[in-house]
Structures are given as C-alpha cells and as structure tokens.
Amino acid sequence: VPEAPLTPERRRAEGGALPPPTRAPFVELGLVSCFSFLRGASDAVDLATTARALGYDALGIADANTMAGVVRLHGEAKTLGLTPVIGCRIETTEGLAFLAYPRSRAAYGRLCRLISAGRMGKLDGEWQDKGICDISLAMLADHAEGVALVLIPPTDLAAQFTVAVESNVVPFVSRPRVLPSASPRTGSAAEGRRREEERDTSHEDTKTQSDRAAPQAFSPVSTSPRALDSELKAAVPQTKPLRVFVSSCESFSNLLPHLIQQLPTLRHIAAAYLYSGDDLARIAELDDLARSHGLSILATNLPLYHAPAAPSAARCDDRDPAQDHGGRAGHLLEANAERHLKARRRWHGCSRAGPTRSRGARRWRMPASSALMNCAMNIPQEVYPDGLHAQEHLEVG
Amino acid sequence: MKQTASSPGRRILAIWLTALAIDRWQLAEGISPAPFALLSESAHGPRIAAINAAARSAGVQPGAMLTDARALCPDLAVHPGDPAGDRAFLEKLALWAQRWGPWSALDPPDGLLVDVTGVAHLFGGERGLLNDAAARLAVRGLSARLAIAPTAGAAWALAHYGPGRAVHDPGDGLDQLPVAALRLDPATLLVLRRLGLKRVGDLSGVARDALARRFRSTRAPGANPLIRLDQLLGKVPEPLLPVLAAEMPLVQRRLMEPIRHRSLLDQVLDDLTADMARLLEGQAKGARRLDLALWKVDGEVLSRRLELAAASRDAAHIARLFAGKLDDLDAGFGIELARLSAPWCEPLALSQADFERAAEAHGTALSACIDRLNARLGEDAIRRPQPFASHLPERAQRWLPPLAPESASQNELAFHARPLKLLDRAEPIAVLYASPDGLPRRFRWRGEVHEISRAEGPERIAPEWWRERGHVRLRDYYRIEDGQGRRYWIYRAGLAGDGRGGVPEWFLQGLCA
C-alpha cells in the first residue's frame, strides 16, 4: 500500500497569465499569517489569492514578533503581481502592540535584530525560553530608526499601562558635559552603549538618586502626568544630557505623548471596524486622539484569516475550542469571524469615519515596499559594496 | 483494625449466600415450583443471571443466553434481575450480621465477612456460632454456606469450596482446595489451568520466583495468584472496609387525642423541632432536608418536605418554615401521629452562644433569609448567577443554588455592553429598516409600535460552531432608544444572503435601565 506523505504538498499560487493589478485605493496592513501560531489561520497562498481576487494591489504582513511568514507571502505575492509590504507586529512586554514596517534596508536589519534580541534573552539578561519574545518599549525605541510604526490601540481604551517614561527629576551635574547633537534615539548599538555609559556616569554623580535612575526599574516614585507632560514638552527640543526613567502607570490617552516622544517614527494609530457594537464611537475617539497629538488614524482590519466561511479554521485564532477546556474555550475566541480580508466596497459600507484612514494607508505604503524589495534581492550577489563579505553586508545596520 | 491478619487469634466468618437473587425474589413473590430465572442485559441480548431449583433440574445454566435456555426449557418464566436491590439488601444484611461480631464487611456480589475474633464463646464455641448463623439465615429464607478461618481469604475459600460449616485452624492445610478458591479472575484461572496448576497445593510446589516472574506485570490481587496465596495464608494483610450504620435522625410524637386544630398542631410542631434540634446537636449535625409526616386517624399520611439552604438546627427557624407549609392541611378526623425526620444532614459544629442577649438579635443570617424567601416564593426561585465563558448573552452565565461555593477563579466580565435585564427567551419583533444590513428605524413589540430615535451597533456575535448546528445564524446586536427614552437591546438573526435561511428575523432580548 503506498503511504500518503506525512505533510500535504505545499500549495503555490498560480498567477502566470494574470494582468498586473490596478492601483487600489486601500492597502491592508497588519495581516497575520499562519506563522503566528494559534492566532493566524490562513496560509500565504490563500491570503495572496484572496487579496488579488478582492482587488488589492499590495499586502502588508505583520506576524506577531516574527518575520517567519515573510518569505512565503513575498513569493506568493510576487507570483500574483501584488506588492508585498514586509514588516511585523511588535508586541511589547508592557502590553502595547505596534505594526512595524521598515523603510530601508538598514531599518529592516534593525527590526530583525530587535526580534532576535527579544527571542534570545529575557529583559533581565537571562537566556530566553523557547517560543517567547520579550521586547520592551525601550528596546523598540532603540531599534526604531527608519521603521514606520503604527500603534494598535488596546481593546479597552481605559486600560492602564505601566511604562518607563523619562523622569522630570533632573540630576544635578557638577561639570558641564559636551554631548553630540545627534538625536538621542539613534538606534545603533554604539549609541546604546554610549547611553549606558551616561547612565553609569549619572549614577556616580548623583548617588542619592541611584535607585530611581535605572531605566527599567519600577520605582515607587509617582509623578503627576500633567507635570510630566509639561516637563517633557519643555525638555524635548533641547538636547537632554541625562535620561532618567521612572515607571509610570497611565491610561492610553495619557500614554500617547510618552510614546510619541520615545518613538519619533510613530505616525499612525490603527483603527479597525470589528463589529464590537461601538466601533464608530471608538474610531471617532481614536481619530480625535490622533489629531490632538499630530498623528492620523490608519484603516486596517487586522485580518487573522483570508475568508470568513471556514469556521473551524477561521475561529481557532487562539485555541481549538473543541479540544480545549472540554469545548468551553469561550472568551479565548473572538466573538465573531469579521477579521478577514474584505473587499473595498464592504470596507466603505461599514466605515463612516471619513476618508482619512484609507488615504493614510495608500500614501504611506510606497516608500516601505520599495525598500523591502532590495533586501530580498541582494542576498545572492557575488560582489558587495565597500568590499564587504556577504555576512558582513547582512549585518550592516 | 489494629490487628494485622498474621496476628494469632484473628477469626473471620465468611457467609456466602448461594442464591441471593432468587431468595430475594422468592421472599417477595412467593415460592413457585415452576422453572424460573432472573435475567441480566448483556451486549448480545438477555442472559440468565440466576435460576431456581426447578430450572436447574430442567437443565438451565446460569450465564446462558435466554434463547438457549428457552430451547432447553420452553416454559421457563423470566423476570429482569435487580442487582442494585440485591446490593442494598446485602448492605442491610451486613448490618444485621453484626450480631455475630463487632464489624462486618461486604463481599460483593453475594457474600459477607464478619469479624468474630473472641466472640465465639458467647455462642458456645465456633461450631455453635456457625449453627446459630445458619439457623438464623435459614429462618430469613436465605440459603447460605458458612466458614470460619483466621483470614478472610481462607474463610472465603472454605465457604465456597470447602465442606459445609468448616472451622479452619491456623495449622490446617488448604492444599486440596481448587485454585478457584483464591478469588482470581477468570483469565488468571484459565492461565493456571493451562499451566496444569489445579489445586492450591500445586502452587506451593512451583518455585515461588518462577510464579513471581510469570505474573510480575500484574499488581491487582485478583490477577496475581501469589498475592492471593499470601492473603490466604495471612502473610500479607488484607484490609477490609467495614459497614457502618448511618441512622437518620428521627423524632416523633404519638398523640393521646387526635388533633384537628392548627394551634395544637403548631404546638406539636414546636415540640418536634425542639426534639430534632436536640438530637442533631448531640450528633453535631445540621439538617439540610426535613420530612414531616402526619398520620391521620383514617390511616392517610400527609407529608411536607423542607429543604434548607445551609445546614441548620435552629428549632424556631425550622418551625417557622414548616408553619408556612401547613396552611392547606386537611386534618380530617384528626392527626394522631407526627414524625419529623432529617434524611439529609451535614456536619455542623457546636457554637457558643453569645453572652449578651442583645448580640443574638443582630439580624438574620443570609442562609435563614434565603430559607424564608424560598418558603415564600417556592423552590428554585432564588439562584445565583455564575459567569460562564461564552459570547452568547444567554449562555454567559450559569445558575447555581444560592449558597453554592463560588468558582475558584474570578476574572473580569469580558462582555462588551449588556443590558440590565435580559429576557429569558428573546421575543420576536417586527422591524422596519432602511437597508437589509443597516440600522433599524421602527419596531413593533407586544403590539406596540416604537420609533427608534437612536441606535448603536452592530455588535456581531457568531454562533458557536463547535456546539451548534451549521444552519444557526449569527446575530447583530443593536442598542436602541425609542421616542420615549426607553432603551432596548435587539438583534437581527442572520444576514440577508448568508445562505442560512430567508429574510433575517429580529428579536428583542434585553431592556436597558
């Protein structure tokens, strides 16, 4: 008896005779493929094929804390003539989530380096457990140069987050220090090391405040958000010689100034219409919030699957309810199966939040996608600029 | 139970009721000379479980299929057996058998073990004890085989396979008994028979380590002849579970004169509850269920049942609750006997009363309050909701008894926005809408038309596909407000064109404040 193969044959998209897609007004970002285990349910073939059938011309992947699904989506999208937008979804240990799309080859390297750092070591320096990725907001800030970030708001906008923010306590420095006028948030390792030295110096200088000077220590110092805001606004334009962090517990709206200050590449807030009852009010609130901080909202459906019709596959986004908890998975699952790729007509039918969202997504896409092509293309070259070896070239950035 | 089986002087009486099921049947239905059999249901049809002497003489075998038995004996009368009743009868008999020893144990399905250590002289020696037991069992209409031996295993073996009324002393040999006397499984017996080991003595002839190696993978005593042999000889202890009598607390009053008036009955009830409280206090128990039975002069019995939310022995509280249930009582020519029993009790520790009189009047306990409400509103009128992880509103909670323990884990309520009042069953409404999947404009509920001035939604909840059938439709919930400011929670079952039915229907499921 011939034995069937243990794994089914890999399916590939068939797009040989397709004409190139017309330019679509909307680009879906934040797509989760099956490489986000127990969350995304659809293979890249299905995602790309469905997107092509729905009239998209580009597709932005964002697997959770991994780049693993990028290769397949890139291949399938190229086969179908779609433009793949390469990126990932960064979920930090503070509970925040970002869509991260690098705009250049060097930024792509930094993003991969960030994921590797989170997967290899815990925040306290211990070896990381398998399958876990710990990325803190400070780590993201260190690697965010050139990476366009989209903030995904939490389900409950009133939820409290504890993040490390810069303190308004300025340590006394005995002698003036001359510092380079570069931005304090260049993400290179050398910059990070230099900053570490500065912190060490500040420890020596201000012995009395050594307990609150650690960047990630959760010290019991509580400062009012208002005071912090004013201090930050006053401090941001200048070159700040010493950066002292305290942990602060803030709601989402109060947190946003800190995020913008720490992440200069954060320009958008993701807004999704997820059929949760008060979507319009929520999108309007997010829009107000974004405008008041100089950001804009960005339409995305945050899709987990390519079609709503495959119920068992489409809704096992967290766990299989039939096996887990004796069929009582309940709230581990989504309430509905609306997080799938949707046609543009359906998008506009259900969204009444104005034209800003789709315009943002369209305008924003181009630089990202063009840059990401290069990193896939230039690996097999024989000769690299500056006489670098292939591995050295990959490690640039 | 401090003694081990190997200590000298231990004596066990084994009683094997050879035809327990048939004896019970004949005690209940009378002895008939016709062939009769009790049946048990098996996967392949009815099977003979027990037969009487006439059927045995006609050739019917226990364990045979009924159709085979009918072929042998066409006039065989049959009836379904009652294994549960046999077991209950055996439990009662085990308690009764404690007349011959301080404790007794069940040996299911049809045997008893009684510890008769040091009590034989009361019956004139062990022979006298066996004769007494055989005579008393015969008086009850039960056929039995008896034996006394130092271990339970030996007593069982002799009762089943030894001479009648055997008395075994520690030095006597048991080598001539068949290996079936070791209480082994049929499969193990088959193995031993194939090995040519037929008698208990044959096992002693084989090297012990050879047997241990052969049965090394079986730890159950019934499948390992070595363990059974050691138990038979008293080399390893064999724990037995004694039967303990649990008596139901019961108090009663026989009345000199039949009473016909409620005031007198209340007095009797107060006395009964006071007696019951004293009885329960002595046992450190509290009643959860109480049965009041009133015998009338004409023999009719009136009964009232009371269930309490928490264990209690508060006489005044119980009397008050019962008083509410006696209003519709018809005393007829009078009540001459009142009995109060507590079939369900729970441990309730004694508590010290307060020194101060005033401290006792601080209010009503929650359990007492629930009892009173239950008595007034009816059973199951008071329940406590327990969150349940489901997105469907009617499944998002379970109903528990009012004082049931809360679940170990608590978390935030995960639902989005829910109305204060949820109807038990969603009521269909007629809705006017602008577009099939748009907001509703006007609806008719219970014959009244409401204009919708505000609406929010939809909140989409998909059916639970792992639980429900494939044609169940999703729901789009809307929070709406009508012209008078009344808010409702309605949903549309399904979408137009979802392939699961025709035009979607609308339902009203909840009322907001």
Three-state SS string across A272-285, please? CCCCECCHHHHHHH
Interface check A331 vs B, CB under 8 A: yes
CA B483 from centroid of its chain's CA atoms: 57
Contacts of B187 (CB under 8 A, 6+ apart): B223
pLDDT at A311 over 50: no
Mean pLDDT of B138-160: 93
pLDDT at A391 over 90: no
Number of CB atoms found within 10 A of residue A370's CB: 12
Q: How confident is the model at residue B386 (pLDDT cuts 50, 70, 90)?
A: confident
How far apart CA A379 and CA A391 sit, in angstroms, is 9
How far apart CA A179 and CA A186 sit, in angstroms, is 14
Average pLDDT in chain A: 73
Number of H helices, E strands in chain B: 13, 20
CB B287 within 8 A of CB B249: yes
Q: Are B460 and A278 a contacting pair at CB < 8 A? A: no
The partner residue sitting opposite A277, judged by closest CB among B388, B456, B465, is: B456
pLDDT at A176 over 70: no
pLDDT at A63 over 60: yes
Nearest alpha carbon to residue B474 among A338, A280, A345: A338
- Among the residue ranges A209-218, A258-267, B416-425, B477-486, the one predicted with the least confidence is A209-218
pLDDT at A222 over 50: no
Q: Are A335 and B467 a contacting pair at CB < 8 A? A: no
pLDDT at B500 over 90: no
Q: Are B479 and A275 a contacting pair at CB < 8 A? A: no
Interface check A159 vs B, CB under 8 A: no
pLDDT at B406 over 60: yes
Q: Which helix (H) or strand (E) holds B443?
A: strand B440-445
Mean pLDDT of A316-338: 60
Q: Are A335 and B466 a contacting pair at CB < 8 A? A: no
Alpha carbon of A347: minimum distance to chain B alpha carbons (Å): 14
Interface check B419 vs A, CB under 8 A: no
Mean pLDDT of A349-357: 40
pLDDT at B149 over 90: yes
Contacts of A284 in chain B (CB under 8 A): none
How far apart CA A134 and CA A136 sit, in angstroms, is 7
CB A22 within 8 A of CB A54: no
Alpha carbon of B159: minimum distance to chain A alpha carbons (Å): 49
CA geometry: angle B184, B186, B191, nearest 5 deg:
90
Interface check A160 vs B, CB under 8 A: no
Q: Are A332 and B389 a contacting pair at CB < 8 A? A: yes
Average pLDDT in chain B: 89
Q: Are B459 and A275 a contacting pair at CB < 8 A? A: yes
Contacts of B479 in chain A (CB under 8 A): 277
Q: What is the torsional sign of CA A258, A261, A263, A269?
A: positive
Interface check B384 vs A, CB under 8 A: no
Q: Are A336 and B474 a contacting pair at CB < 8 A? A: yes
Q: Are B459 and A329 a contacting pair at CB < 8 A? A: no
Q: Are B462 and A330 a contacting pair at CB < 8 A? A: no
- Among the residue ranges A358-362, B98-102, B131-135, the one predicted with the least confidence is A358-362
pLDDT at A288: 92
Q: How confident is the model at residue B467 (pLDDT cuts 50, 70, 90)?
A: confident
How far apart CA B382 and CA B397 sit, in angstroms, is 15
pLDDT at A197 over 50: no
The partner residue sitting opposite A277, judged by closest CB among B459, B466, B474, is: B459
More confident residue, B263 or A16: B263
Q: What is the largest CA-CA distance in chain B?
A: 100
Q: How confident is the model at residue A241 (pLDDT cuts 50, 70, 90)?
A: low
Interface check A336 vs B, CB under 8 A: yes
CB A195 within 8 A of CB A180: no
Strand partners, B112: B15, B106
pLDDT at B355: 67
Q: Are A278 and B456 a contacting pair at CB < 8 A? A: yes
Q: Are A331 and B465 a contacting pair at CB < 8 A? A: no
Q: How confident is the model at residue A389 (pLDDT cuts 50, 70, 90)?
A: low
Mean pLDDT of B447-474: 88
Mean pLDDT of B409-417: 68
- Per the structure block, which two tokens stand in for A10? 């890999």
**Among residues of chain A, what percentage have pLDDT more than 70?**
62
Q: How confident is the model at residue B171 (pLDDT cuts 50, 70, 90)?
A: confident
Give the model confidence (pLDDT) of B287-344 as tens digits.
999 999 999 999 899 999 999 988 999 999 999 999 988 988 888 899 999 999 999 9
Which residue type occupies A192?
G
Q: How confident is the model at residue A40 (pLDDT cuts 50, 70, 90)?
A: confident
Interface check B476 vs A, CB under 8 A: yes
**Among residues of chain B, what percentage have pLDDT more than 70?**
95
- Per the structure block, which two tokens stand in for A323? 């096996």
- Per the structure block, which two tokens stand in for B48? 């003979």
pLDDT at A242: 60
The partner residue sitting opposite A275, judged by closest CB among B456, B460, B479, is: B460
pLDDT at A190: 44
Nearest alpha carbon to residue B35 among B2, B3, B5, B70: B70
Q: Dihedrals φ, ψ of A387, to 5°?
A: 65, 30
pLDDT at A175: 53
Number of CB atoms found within 10 A of residue A51's CB: 26
pLDDT at A385: 61
pLDDT at B498 over 60: yes
- Per the structure block, which two tokens stand in for A64? 């959770």
Nearest alpha carbon to residue B149 among B126, B123, B131: B126
How far apart CA A185 and CA A190 sit, in angstroms, is 11
pLDDT at A48 over 50: yes
The partner residue sitting opposite A277, judged by closest CB among B388, B414, B416, is: B416
